Amino acid sequence: MENKKFDPNSLIGFVFMGLILMWMFYNQSKQAEVENAKKAIIEQQADSIQKAHAVATKVVDSLKIEDSNNGVIATDITNPNDSIAFVQSQSRLGAFSYSVSLASAKDQTTTIENDVLKIVVANKGGKIEEILLKKHKTFDQKPLYLIKDHNADLQIDFSTLDNRVLNTNDMYFEPTLTEESGHTNLSMRLKVSKDRFLEYRYTLKPNNYLIDFTIRSQGLKDVIDSSKPIDLKWDMKTFHTEKSVKYENQYTTLEYRTDGSEFDDVSSMGKSKSEELESIDWIAFRQQFFTSILNADIPIENAKLKLENLVDDEEKDTLFTKHFTAEIPLQTKGGELNYDWNYYFGPSDYNILQTYEGRDFERSVNMGWGIFRWINVYGIIPVFNLLKGNILSFGLIIILMTIVIRIIMSPLVYKSYLSSAKMKVLRPEMEEINKRLPGKDNAMKRQQETMALQRKAGVSMLSGCIPALLQMPVFFALFRFFPSWFDLRQKGFLWANDLSAYDDVIQLPFNIPVYGSHISLFPLLASIAIFFYMQMSQAQQANMQPPAQEGMPDM
């Protein structure tokens, strides 16, 4: 019989098999422990949910008992997860957690509109989320929105008697839409019970850019702490809507009227500027051709206004031009809020703004200051409106208006030309005086005889200068009129498709510093016309210039 030898390979195989079996048994026991732990966690979570549900039910029951006189709606909480959310909102919002239990506590919107405006109001925050101007387009023919994609905000910060600091943007309002006498009324209520709430009320009239806006509270004197600041914050980033970023940004500014008549603006020079004001009638976030105005029938006691320039490079395209902010402290009466205001969202059209009598909205249109505004308001605008009613082309209106203005100023021009003609006639006699009285010793006598000759003929140097100076305010007024006059926006003439902006007959593939990236034909033609006009003016001035006199300064 053959003796068996020791096989090391077999031993190694048995060892590996043993290790594998031990690993399998260990894995099974570990998995059992994990499963038991999962079951324990699930049971613990279920127990917590049941307890939270019980607490929430007690809270709802207490609210039902507390508000039994007012009634309770939409407080049936059956989902345990909803119960937990309700308990969390109760901790965060206090009495205003009631609003979370309503069916309106969703990210939904309500739309109101008339012939000229489409307004979208969000449940969350109760604020305007979109404003579309139906009859207008951007420079690239896209729908023109004043508010969209969260570029504007309206919120109220306040404190409650149970020491919570709240913001309306974090809470849900309940919308109610009604029609009355052709007016659309949208009530947005932030509720603490059925009949106790903070309300924003928007009223939109047919074919009107003005929106009645009311802020009021009912039954909140035991909720809101009126001894602490209640601040309304309205801010907006204005969209770039015009062809020229440079001109649009230049004419985009924050304006206001105070003390019933005083009008001013927050200077747009520099990166940012802020001012604190008192007794404010209205605040306007004005773009070049559109404006958003908050108007108060009873003056706002004080407010802090801020303007920030968002355009870093005017040669580049941009989404926003400026950022406006108005912070207005609100005051309670008898523990309640009650403010009746108006919003104007629409074009900066002088003729439209003038129809809102007693508000002076038209002052927000930049017609210059002092005598320049007076010339525009009482002279140029009536002439333009008269021509507009009879002529379709705005290019022809500009040409005819220029002719009319020249005719109106013709007495001054005639006076200047007459003085020039007289000086031309007197020139030989003045030269004769120079020859008869030569030398520095006769300088005074020459001057006396020359002035005597001019008086006799009824002419002087000032008789030509004064008429020219009197015409200057008219041209400065026109300089303010054309860039601000809404009727010229997107109106074409000849090769230009927008008389309120530059005409680019040739678009260059590169940018020339200071000059730009386009060639405009109107400025070139104007330069040629100015050149010939200056030649004529210089000839006229040469005729008016008296002969040089030795010892006397050169006129």
Q: Which residues pair with 189 in a beta bridge?
A: 174, 199
Residue 480: which pLDDT band, with cuts at 50, 70 and 90? confident
Q: What percent of the chain has pLDDT over 70?
A: 72
Read off the pLDDT of each residue in 422-436 and give the average, rounded to a whole number.
Answer: 72
Task: Indicate the range of 28-37, 149-158, 244-253, 528-537 predicted with least confidence.
Answer: 28-37
430's enclosing H/E stretch is: helix 410-436
In terms of Cβ atoms closer than 10 Å to its own Cβ (0-12, 13-18, 19+), residue 280 is buried
pLDDT at position 316 over 50:
yes
For residue 32, what pLDDT is reported? 58
How does strand 143-147 pair with strand 152-159?
unpaired
- DSSP one-letter string for 244-266: -HHHHHHT-EEEEEETTTEEEEE
Output the pLDDT for position 71: 38
User: Residue 334: what are its φ and ψ, rounded to 5°?
Assistant: 65, 25
pLDDT digits (tens, 9 = 90+) for 14-64: 666 667 666 665 666 656 555 565 455 445 444 544 544 554 455 445 444
Task: Report d(CA 429, CA 473) in Å as an integer.
Answer: 36
Residue pair 285/292 in contact by the 8 Å Cβ criterion: yes
d(C-alpha 232, C-alpha 327), whole Å: 6
Lowest mean pLDDT across 71-85, 314-328, 360-374, 510-524: 71-85
* pLDDT greater than 90 at residue 126: yes
pLDDT higher at 25 or 234: 234
Q: What pLDDT does residue 35 have?
A: 58
pLDDT for 50 equals 52
Q: Which of 268, 260, 302 is nearest to 285 (CA)?
A: 268
- Longest Cα–Cα distance in the chain: 168
Ranking 118-127, 160-169, 259-268, 457-466 by mean pLDDT, the lowest is 457-466
Q: Read off the pLDDT of each residue in 439-450 and give the average, rounded to a whole number.
A: 71
In angstroms and rounded to an integer, the radius of gyration of the C-alpha atoms of the chain is 39
398/396 Cα distance (integer angstroms): 5
Q: What integer is the mean pLDDT of 86-112?
A: 82
pLDDT bracket for residue 78 (50, 70, 90): very low
Q: What are phi and psi of 98, to 5 degrees?
A: -55, -35
* Distance in angstroms (rounded) separating the CA atoms of residues 360 and 382: 18
Q: With the C-alpha atoms ordered 531, 537, 540, 542, is the resulting torsion angle positive or negative?
A: negative
Average pLDDT of the residues in 133-153: 93
What is the reported pLDDT for 17?
Answer: 66
Full DSSP string of 164-216: -EEEGGGSBPEEEEEEETTEEEEEEEEEEETTEEEEEEEEE-TT-SEEEEEEE
Taking 90 as the threshold, does the pLDDT of residue 250 lie above it?
A: no
Supply the pLDDT for residue 496. Answer: 78
Q: pLDDT class for 109, splitting at 50, 70, 90?
A: very high
Q: How far apart are CA 463 and CA 415, in angstroms?
A: 7
Whole-number pLDDT of residue 172: 94
